[in-house]
Amino acid sequence: QKAEWEKLVAESTVTKDGRHVELAANIGNPNDVEGVLNNGGEGVGLYRTEFLYMGRDKLPTEDEQYDAYKTVLEKMGEKPVVIRTLDIGGDKELPYLDLPKEMNPFLGFRAIRLCLEQQDIFRTQLRALLRASVHGNLKIMFPMIATVDELRQAKAILQEEMDKLISEGVEVSGVIEVGMMVEIPSTAVMADRFAKEVDFFSIGTNDLIQYTLAADRMNEHVSYLYQPYNPAILRLVNMVIEAAHKEGKWAGMCGEMAGDETAIPLLLALGLDEFSMSATSILPARSQLLKLSQEELAGHKEKFLNLDTVDDVINYVKNFMS
């Protein structure tokens, strides 16, 4: 099987009925890029920038960040690179920020919430990203957006930093796509509105599942509720993809679910455009996708979206795949 996968490194991912989907990788630092390319990644679908901020005693400077982003963009060449702005808080702490202890960190002051309040941190990162943008195919993504207002604020700050750089004579790419994570149920429900104001969505199922089923993703006692195949999750994913396509935008997924063998046929049926996963999952996923027909699977969509339970969904997939 390994030999079969290795032959697929340089292939693009085209389904049996001729539909191209993009298989991208999740990375945490610039050294990960080599693994992405060796495994045939067609892009980076999620660069988790928080690792630049962790394991040290002060914030990374604009230049330090610029170097990291530039390295990733250059190594990836023309391939797309989605860089997510800082997603700290929740399970990831930064001791030097001295944030107050919270009762519910996953529902608290994290990610874009923190960035919109501590704008110096956010603006420094955006400047580093914009300066690096001329070195490759950059897409910027905001994490943990809950409301249209937050998205508009984040975009306005990005535009301000872009205008400042341009007036300082700094070169910035003119073709940077701006997107958001869909990982809070409110954004999936309102995806039709968000789709008018972003270039793309990336569905973060790791958080979307925990928030939809109200089950802490770190708590073993409620892990039985952490259900990727719950029809509620599939319906939300469907809403997001439909809303994106209605506006001519693309929808990806960068949660663990995107690389899951059972989920892949369901996600292809729903019309997902980009699957972002750990690099080592890319070739197995490609091998699987080459054998599937998007059109045929789409014919099952109404049926599996109307099932009741996780077991019903899993049995349904097993049946139509065999």
In the complex, the residues that contact ligand PEP under the rule CB under 6 A are 46, 48, 87, 183, 204-207, 254-255
Neighbours of 87 (CB within 10 A): 25
Q: Which of 19, 128, 125, 116 is nearest to 71 (CA)?
A: 128
DSSP state of 139: E
Annotation-wise, does 110 bind a ligand?
Answer: no
- Single out the catalytic residue among 8, 254, 257, 292: 254
Q: Which of 315, 200, 175, 298 is nearest to 254 (CA)?
A: 200
What is the rounded CA–CA span in Å between residue 97 and residue 80? 32
Closest approach, Cβ 48 to Mg ion, in A, equals 9
Residue 171 burial (C-beta neighbours within 10 Å; 0-12, 13-18, 19+): exposed
The entry of ligand PEP, Mg ion, none that residue 205 binds, CB within 5 to 8 Å by partner kind: ligand PEP
If one asks whether residue 50 binds Mg ion (CB under 5 A), the answer comes out as no
Q: Which of 45, 204, 252, 271 binds Mg ion (CB under 5 A)?
A: 204
CA 171-82-162 angle, 5° bins: 30
Closest approach, Cβ 206 to ligand PEP, in A, equals 3
Catalytic residue flag (residue 115):
no
Complex with Mg ion: residue 162 or 240, whichever CB lies closer? 240
Closest approach, Cβ 275 to ligand PEP, in A, equals 12
If one asks whether residue 90 binds Mg ion (CB under 5 A), the answer comes out as no
Q: Which of 207, 256, 260, 273 binds Mg ion (CB under 5 A)?
A: 207
- Give the active site residues: 254
Where does this chain bind Mg ion (CB under 5 A)? 183, 204, 207
